[in-house]
Structure 1
């Protein structure tokens, strides 16, 4: 497939074929740059759009876009095993075979997961979804800066030099804007874009929506959001709380604290990506998380969620949400740097959340005498509640003050494909991430005939959602979910953990509102 973008040149994609039968499945354009490399002097700056002089190739000699994207450098413990490169602001674009419908293919802008620290947009394979089901849409998956490259924050960067924070979120936003501006030339409908992803991809989806419909956005792009096992989370740290991690980083790298802001940042920019990753491995807090910067993330965001104003804005713009979780999410989470005591539980949770929230949610375990395995299990369950179960339900409860049930499509999954057994033992059940073969129809795995039949049925209303059509979901109340049972049945059921999970959201809400009263006036609708 040859695509010509006026004034930007020509791109040659590849055809993805079934390895067993040789049958064509879809077109794919890979490693398509959407921004200048965020390297050298552009490290820890907002991404820069490609200049007018940039060309993807000439009509006579189009560039072949058929190589994997470059993953952002990351810690090796849970990260990708292939070679990485800071020059990672690249897209994978999957296009269905055949002619697009009137108006163009619907577009699914999909963001990969990995705690915003790990992963790559090469890790998913939606090609079977596009050939085996009716979910015919263009899928755009951006690479973005992770960890220390995407979410380093400090007074030196934000206040001293005015460079800002949340660089990985700005990357995603620029990729979304590139998609809006150029997807028509691939046969897509730029006015029919759904944004979604798994885990950190869902978390990023929420914050892209918050920016898209928030006070700093110039144009609404997002029409629907698809949140797999994550959501809004809790209000992030402020720059002042992230400062301690920055100070530890420069100490590990031997950069004097007494240097000026510009000297510190220039010294950091002279470090290789390998040196930075090695330094991160020596830090107490190894995760670099988004901060409440007042630019990408507005100061009053969570107050607007709590008051219902955020949901009211979603209703005004007609934005629909598909959102849900798996029953055994905690089994995977308990493996991610687990603590072994009350003190280390607070410290570990402080990687991801403001410390006052970490202390509040850890308080029931202050005097616990648990074994190492019990601490691990406790952490996994609490972390899964914070990342998914409790915050997801609290968010739904908040937006439902204004968003009608017809626009909120809740699911819960207790089933997984046989292919998952190759990677995870059956006894962990439907744990975090095991649903990717459902959403992407195998995601590169082989499905049995009965699995294909079940997944096609599960995806029927999902397909309508992605297309922007009327969704027949089946739930009659906010506390009902479309449930995929462990034995492979699709039912409408009451959410069995609704009552047990919402109190944690209420606790974090109280802590956040108490903090808000010391920083700024309460925001009311």
Structure 2
């Protein structure tokens, strides 16, 4: 018996996750923190996408001898319009971070939360989020993974030259994400995680990425994840490779590349590329869109428009949380919008396939009833409402309804309506992805955080509520199992009436509002009417 206990202790010591993790191609020295969490930052999950690997699909990381420090984040990826001399950005940016409970062993098999940041596919907008808050909220029962992926032309340049080249590839930003997921499948057990229980999280373009991974390869399940939680899924205009040629040609011309253009573009420095990395209008549009570089239909990874893929049932069946904020458009639209013409011009710049008849119908569905706000045009909130629904709210409701229609089990939807006094006074309402501060904890996200979310302030109550639902979903694929004490039961999305009519469905979603009014709500008839039209034109306007 004594020998058995000795061997058991010896094995446990060997199996425990140590700060130094050997991955085969490299060894990384992580950092233990006093709160019972160990983190490994800035590990390579793919080779540096520079030189001949620029515009190529991600490759395996090189083998490196010795022990590498993993105590600080790697560079984030260069974004459209950003200067190349920013200290924290680089073309060499394919790094991954892992946060794990210090007590975890290689046999712990803890659920893994794999977060895909947003940024319109043009920026790494949510880099370096800290996993400590979510791990603590889960009673140290999950592992959190964050990472960078290529954006802008580095991740989404598309043309016949790239498609026909044996050394180049389209949709590389999405392929980076899948490369990181494959890295998790291979190595996450060494950090205490379960490769068979990976839950995708993501916001905005990260949520759009989730939709594209659900429908990737026509809905083929490669076993990379078992559930998804998507905040503000975004349906932008999606072009084919052929339709994207003008972007490539213009970019090459700006850089003086007139012959052997792909080789020429690869020969340029990142500084040269960044000097010309800015948006141009879609053909037929008046001004550049907010986000020009986007995934393209390549008839392989992306085989159809996202609306069409979900409508046809060509998606992976896994449990899903999906939702949006009440005022998702306000941070994007021109504050000075002062006329119906300016409103329609903005919408057409983002969705160039909108026809005059479609714009007229949108004008009817979104009349300009105010309210007015200081330092804003009289049509600002009108265009914000229309854009927020077209790009965010209505696609997210469509996906949830499509999941239900195709028999999806485990289908939860929400509307986030927690009002911050400062944002309300500014006229922003409850803006795009503001719930990230509640999900991660306000001290764990980068950028501006509403003051009311801080400890002791008016909206601090929402943090344990959101973290309870999210960590429950990560652990149990159900937001209710480990929800916060006193939090209401979150019912699934759609219940059909007896006649089975889509017009008469009851759409149930969680309303995050105030402490005593956070509960289930039915999606209102006016929202459903607007979204029926948005969904109707989604495929014609190439979403």
TM-score (norm 2): 0.78
Q: How far has the Cα of 1:173 moved from its partner?
A: 0.6
In the aligned structure 1, how far is the partner of 2:250 from the partner of 2:336? 19
Quote the residue 2:483 is aligned against: none
Quote the residue 1:265 is aligned against: 262
Instruction: Determine if contact 1:390/1:504 at 8 Å carries over to the other structure.
Output: no
Q: SS in structure 1 opposite 2:353?
A: helix
Q: How far has the Cα of 1:282 moved from its partner?
A: 6.5
Instruction: Determine if contact 1:415/1:487 at 8 Å carries over to the other structure.
Output: no
Residue 481 (1) aligns with residue 481 (2): no
In the aligned structure 2, how far is the partner of 1:429 from the partner of 1:506? 24
Residue 226 (1) aligns with residue 229 (2): yes
Please, which moves more after superposition, 447-456 or 185-194?
A: 447-456
In the aligned structure 2, how far is the partner of 1:184 from the partner of 1:40? 33
Q: SS in structure 2 opposite 1:49?
A: coil
C-alpha change, 1:34 and 1:152, in structure 2 (3 Å) is same
Residue 141 (1) aligns with residue 146 (2): yes
Q: For structure 2, which runs of at least 5 residues remain unmatched after alignment?
A: 1-17, 282-287, 481-488, 495-506
Quote the residue 2:529 is aligned against: 500
Q: For structure 1, which runs of at least 5 residues remain unmatched after alignment?
A: 17-22, 517-525
Q: Deviations over 1:287-328 (max 9, x none)?
A: 211100112112476544222x235x51xxxx1000111111
Quote the residue 2:54 is aligned against: 43
Instruction: Determine if contact 2:32/2:102 at 8 Å carries over to the other structure.
Output: no
Question: Aligned residue pairs: how many?
Answer: 482
Instruction: Determine if contact 2:395/2:535 at 8 Å carries over to the other structure.
Output: no
Instruction: Determine if contact 1:197/1:226 at 8 Å carries over to the other structure.
Output: yes
C-alpha change, 1:163 and 1:27, in structure 2 (3 Å) is same
In the aligned structure 1, how far is the partner of 2:217 from the partner of 2:145? 18
Residue 461 (1) aligns with residue 469 (2): yes
Instruction: Determine if contact 2:116/2:203 at 8 Å carries over to the other structure.
Output: yes
Q: SS in structure 1 opposite 2:298?
A: coil
In the aligned structure 2, how far is the partner of 1:359 from the partner of 1:251? 33
Q: Deviations over 1:363-399 (max 9, x none)?
A: 4479999999355444433322222111111122222
TM-score (norm 1): 0.81
Q: Deviations over 1:139-181 (max 9, x none)?
A: 1111110111111111211136673311100111101100111
Q: SS in structure 1 opposite 2:226?
A: strand
> How large is the RMSD of aligned CA atoms in angstroms?
3.6
In the aligned structure 2, how far is the partner of 1:112 from the partner of 1:92? 13
Residue 91 (1) aligns with residue 119 (2): no
C-alpha change, 1:377 and 1:49, in structure 2 (3 Å) is same
Of 204, 208, 211, 2:213 maps to: 208
Structure ID, larger Rg: 2
Quote the residue 2:540 is aligned against: 511
Q: 1:163-312, aligned counterparts within 5 Å?
A: 163-211=168-216, 214-215=219-220, 219-230=222-233, 233=235, 236-256=238-258, 259=259, 263-281=260-278, 283-284=280-281, 285=288, 287-299=292-304, 302-307=307-312, 309-310=313-314
In the aligned structure 2, how far is the partner of 1:135 from the partner of 1:427? 39
Q: How far has the Cα of 1:272 moved from its partner?
A: 1.9
Quote the residue 1:428 is aligned against: 428
Quote the residue 1:326 is aligned against: 325
Of 429, 452, 455, 1:448 maps to: 455
Quote the residue 2:78 is aligned against: 73
Q: How far has the Cα of 1:195 moved from its partner?
A: 0.6
Instruction: Determine if contact 1:328/1:432 at 8 Å carries over to the other structure.
Output: yes
In the aligned structure 2, how far is the partner of 1:476 from the partner of 1:185? 35
Q: SS in structure 2 opposite 1:32?
A: strand
